Amino acid sequence: MRSFKVLAVLTLMIGILAGCDSMGEQGESGTQFALTDTATEIRSGVELVMNYDGSRKVFTGTVTNTTNSTVTRVRVEIHLSNGVELGPTPNVDLAAGETKSVELDATNQSNFNTYSVHVEIGSSRS
List the domain boundaries for the chain: 26-121
Mean pLDDT over all residues of the chain?
84
pLDDT for the residue numbered 106: 98
Rounded to 10 degrees, the C-alpha dihedral 75/125/93/54 comes to: 0
Query: Is 21 or 4 the better-scoring residue by pLDDT?
Result: 4
The answer, yes or no, to whether residue 6 has pLDDT greater than 70, is no
Query: Is 4 or 82 the better-scoring residue by pLDDT?
Result: 82
pLDDT for the residue numbered 3: 60
Rounded to 10 degrees, the C-alpha dihedral 60/63/64/69 comes to: -160
The answer, yes or no, to whether residue 126 has pLDDT greater than 80, is no
In our burial notation (b when 16+ CB lie closer than 10 A, e otherwise), range 28-67 reads: beeeebebeeebebebebbebbbbbeeeeeebebebbbee
Q: What pLDDT, in 10s, does the model give residues 35-64?
A: 999 999 999 999 999 999 999 999 999 999
Which band of pLDDT confidence, cut at 50, 70 and 90, is reported for residue 67? very high
Look at residues 53, 16, 57, 50 and name the one whose alpha carbon lies nearest to residue 31.
50
- Helix runs in the chain, H state only: 2-19
DSSP structure class, residue 91: P
Residue 120 · residue 77 · CB < 8 Å: yes
The answer, yes or no, to whether residue 124 has pLDDT greater than 90, is no
Assess whether the previous peptide bond of 88 is cis (omega < 30° from 0).
yes
Q: Which CATH architecture has domain 26-121?
A: Sandwich (2.60)
